[in-house]
Amino acid sequence: MDSLNAFIRFFSLADAAATQRMEARLALALRDPSAYQMQYAEELGERGMDGSELPAQELRDVALIDALLSEDLLWESDYQDPAAETAEGLNDILEQQQRPERLRLTAAGKGPEALDALQEALEPLGLALVLLTLDSDAYPLSVVAEAQAEDARKLAQELGFGVTVY
C-alpha cells in the first residue's frame, strides 16, 4: 500500500494523522468493497447510494471523494456555483493543507469556464486543480502541487481512482 500512502500525501501533505485515517478508509474500499459499503452505509445513503452493490469503479471514486471530504481536503462545487465561491472553498483546502498561498480570481464564470479560471489562478502559485470523478452535476475539487500533478495522476490511475489533474 505504499502507492496508496504516497497518493494520499499529495493531498494531506505532512498531516500524518489525516493520511493514516484516509489510508485505512481507502484500503478497505480497494480490498473489500462490500465491507466498505457496510461500514460507510450512512455516508453512501446521504449520496443516494444505498441498497445494492455499487460498481467497483464508482465505489472507489466515491470512497476517495468522501475520504478527502472528511479531512476538509475537498470542495464539492455545483456546476452553477460562481468561480469566486469555489475559489473560497479551494482556499479552505489550502489552509487545511497549511499552504501559505491563497487563490485570488480576476475572472468569473460557472461550470467548465469556472474550472479553467480556477486553474489559471492556481498556476502562478505552483498549484494544480484536481477534479475527481463523480457521475453528478457536482465538481469534487482539490489541489496538489503542480510539480507533483503528473505523479498524482499516474498513481490515481494505478490505484484505480478517476481523477483529472489540470
The domain ranges of the chain are 2-165
Confidence of residue 47 (pLDDT cuts 50, 70, 90): confident
- Asked if residue 77 lies in contact with residue 90, where contact means CB atoms within 8 angstroms, the answer is no
Within 10 angstroms of residue 14's Cβ, the number of other Cβ atoms is: 9
Q: Write down the mean pLDDT value for the chain.
A: 91
Establish how many alpha carbons lie within 13 A of residue 22's alpha carbon, considering only the half-sphere containing its beta carbon.
29
DSSP category for residue 137: S
Model confidence, pTM: 0.92
- Asked if residue 142 lies in contact with residue 130, where contact means CB atoms within 8 angstroms, the answer is yes
Confidence of residue 106 (pLDDT cuts 50, 70, 90): low
Q: Does residue 20 carry a pLDDT above 90?
A: yes
Encode pLDDT of 118-143 as tens digits.
999 999 999 999 999 877 778 999 99
Q: If phi over 0 gives left and psi between -120 and 50 gives alpha, with beta otherwise, what is residue 134?
A: beta
The residues with which 143 forms a beta bridge, in sequence order, are: 129
Q: Cell 479551494 identifies what position?
A: 90
Dihedral over alpha carbons 65, 71, 77, 81 (to 10 degrees): 170
